[in-house]
Chain A
Amino acid sequence: MTSGAPRLQLHRQRGLWRATFAAMANPCEVLCDGSDEPSARRIGELAMREAIRIERKFSRYRTDSVVHEINASDGRPVLLDDETADLIDFGETLWRLSEGAFDLTSGVLRHAWRFDARAAAPSAQLIAELLERIGWRRVSWRRPQLMLPRGMEIDLGGVGKEYAVDRVVAAIQRVTDAPVLVNFGGDLRATGPPRGQAAWQVGVESASTRGQAEQVIQLSVGALATSGDTRHCIEANGKRYGHIIDARTGWPAADAPRSVTVAADTCTQAGAYATLAMLQGRNAERLLQEEGVQFWCLR
């Protein structure tokens, strides 16, 4: 989605190096502690390369991506490489854990739901038509071979960003011990606290005041991922609908929190908890409480 050569910007900020770039339709940043400028730049470039590699490989918009190859397979079997197969396996696990609410094939619903200020709820007929093209049960997945029925699409967008954060962290940890915080559009992970401080300070955006951090979370190690969007939601039939859609109904779970932020060891786990909680609608908090994870819900 980025056009032209991506650019890395490096700033010094409060004793830390902050490397920023755009990838996966999000502002991405890497905060490095205890490094000089050349090593901070090296870390930033490493992060950017890995993020862009993942974006290119799994973007459904690019004609050279694996996802495009699958979606254009027209019902023929496709052999997947290990990394793609791992992501498909992970998506299948989420589908099973959510009893079908999360579905890698539900991306087509974006044609019905536009979450912007003037959006209205789509017609039942449109939803019904789209549901015809959704359902992991109809996909034949025998690793490494995937066979997607004609007319269906898969979308790894639901797990890609968190996965990229974890991959970038792993790449950085291969070259340095210095503590870093990798933040891709609010999904983030820290490898350790900045030197001389107990934790990184992470702001969770407030539901009411856009751009103003309401809750500050002190993260020393581990990940935080947020599902939901404080800006995008739809009011219909007197209910508020979030932007995570239940693949079984084609509708977002009713009475879901505006946003759910979850803390976990990896960004992938945190993101999965947040998505699964969102799909619970009004029971989002209950699921997270029963799981015993730390979370922050905005309603």
Chain B
Amino acid sequence: MQLKNKRPIGGALASAACGLLGALPASKVHAEESQTWQVDSALLYYSEDDDRVRDVSLKAAIRRAFDEDRSLDIGLSVDTLTGASPSGAAPSDVVQTFTRPSGHGSYQIAAGAPPLDDTFRDTRIALSANWSQPLGERSRIALGVSGSSEYDYLHLGADARWERDFNQRNTTLFVGAAYGNERIDPVGGAPIPLAPMRGLDDPSSKRSTDSKHVVDGLIGLTQILSRRALLSLTYSYSMSDGYLNDPYKVLSVVDPNTGRPAAGPVGDGLGLYLYESRPDSRTKQSLYAEGRYALDRDSVRMSYRIMDDDWGVTSSTVEAAYRWNRTPYDYIEPQARYYTQSAADFYRTYLVDGAPLPQYASADYRLADLDAFTVGLKYGRRAAFGEYSVRLEYYRQTADAHDSGVGVLTRYDLIPPLTAFIVQFGYKFGF
């Protein structure tokens, strides 16, 4: 038999098999080679509007599978952040001068402009390794270590996770714990909380390095509800203690009548800007629920997370994605996420000169009362050489200062909205 007539035989074969078997199955065959090495890589570009933060990150998750269901996972990521981020100071109708975190220079913010610190530049490298293997007939254990480094920061961590199947594998229970230690060595030293920003080459408001510890614990359950539906619940508890401030964030102390910055330390020629002060411990609890449902061709995923901490922040995240399997080889997945949080008890947009100084205060907008939504679209395609995907996301965040300010501050949006675009290219392959 020569391949003279190139007419595919698939159709004839399918109809002959249908005649023989009475019917063909509704579901198409799905088989793939099990690879020893699997690499899932992504290049992500994140860009905030108004020349704020830009992040280019390259991530790779590498898995080496061994016999008997054992595997080693290695995670690698490199991030480069550039751009400017809000310093926490309030805008004003006068030019404001700030000392750079290093203490060796200063920058000015024009009247009416939001104070952004443009010295914000960073490269982060993170590495993790995780070993996973069965433990007896129905259990699995995973142990991992992680480390990440930035020029002002070093994190080292270890984690463990155990899971067990019950109820004919319809139920999986898992528990996990993690410990992390971070050494913080900010440029110019770690500021003393609520100490004033000083002039050039005056380190008297700074100490050297500091550290924090984080302990996390989680317990969860995955339940198969039917052939199509799966529900997963996770409760987690996290305790951090140590230096929890952002060393580059300040609060403006303003005149109660004019709203302009009060005078800073004598002879420095600066306004009065105090370094933020957060409590030295934080306890968070969160509950996460995720449901997945397989339709005939497509699938739906929905999740909800509620987080509550002893700083007064309560947040909720709702997320949904619909995966439209256009063909067996490609899919389109619209995604949407909504996030809302209440402000930390000690969040202040600014402090007022002459009023008693609170014990804790931060003007970091990430601790403000804020709402954010993200809409995205992902396209993925399986090819002979791997699977690639492109994801586009639009992010919009608005915050409410709950305070229109005093004097000149009433003219400004004290927490301007933030818009960001995210583009991600993913490529997954095995060998």
Contacts and interface: CB of A to CB of B under 8 A. Distances in A.
Contact of B170 (A34, A94, A96, A276): A34
A218 interface: yes
A265 B168 contact: no
B385 to A, nearest CB: 15
A86 B19 CA distance: 7
Interface stretch (A55-63, A134-142, A279-287): A279-287
Interface in A91-140: 93-94, 96-101
The contact size tier of chain A is 35 or more
A163 B17 CA distance: 9
A161 to B, nearest CB: 14
Interface in A271-298: 272-273, 276, 279-280, 283, 286-287, 290-294, 296
Given A97-B13, A163-B20, A264-B29, A36 B168 contact: yes
A15 B165 contact: yes
Contact of B169 (A93, A195, A283): A195
Interface in B163-194: 165, 168-170, 172
A89 B20 contact: yes
A279 B29 contact: no
B26 to A, nearest CB: 9
A250 B204 CA distance: 97
A93 B33 contact: no
Interface string A165-177: 0110010000001
Contact of B1 (A34, A87, A101): A101
Interface in B22-78: 22, 24-25, 27-34
B21 interface: yes
Given A97-B9, A290-B3, A222 B169 contact: no
A73 B16 CA distance: 27
Contacts of B27: 192, 221-222, 265
A217 interface: yes
Interface residues of B, number: 35
Contacts of B28: 221-222, 265
Interface string B110-130: 000000000000000000000
B222 interface: yes
Nearest to A296: B33
A268 B29 CA distance: 13
Contacts of A265: 14, 24-25, 27-29
B137 interface: yes
A230 interface: no
Given A218-B33, A294-B32, 14 more contacts: A15-B137, A15-B165, A15-B169, A34-B170, A93-B16, A97-B9, A97-B13, A195-B168, A195-B224, A196-B222, A199-B32, A218-B32, A246-B1, A296-B33
Interface of B: 1, 3, 6, 8-10, 12-14, 16-17, 19-22, 24-25, 27-34, 137-138, 165, 168-170, 172, 222, 224, 227
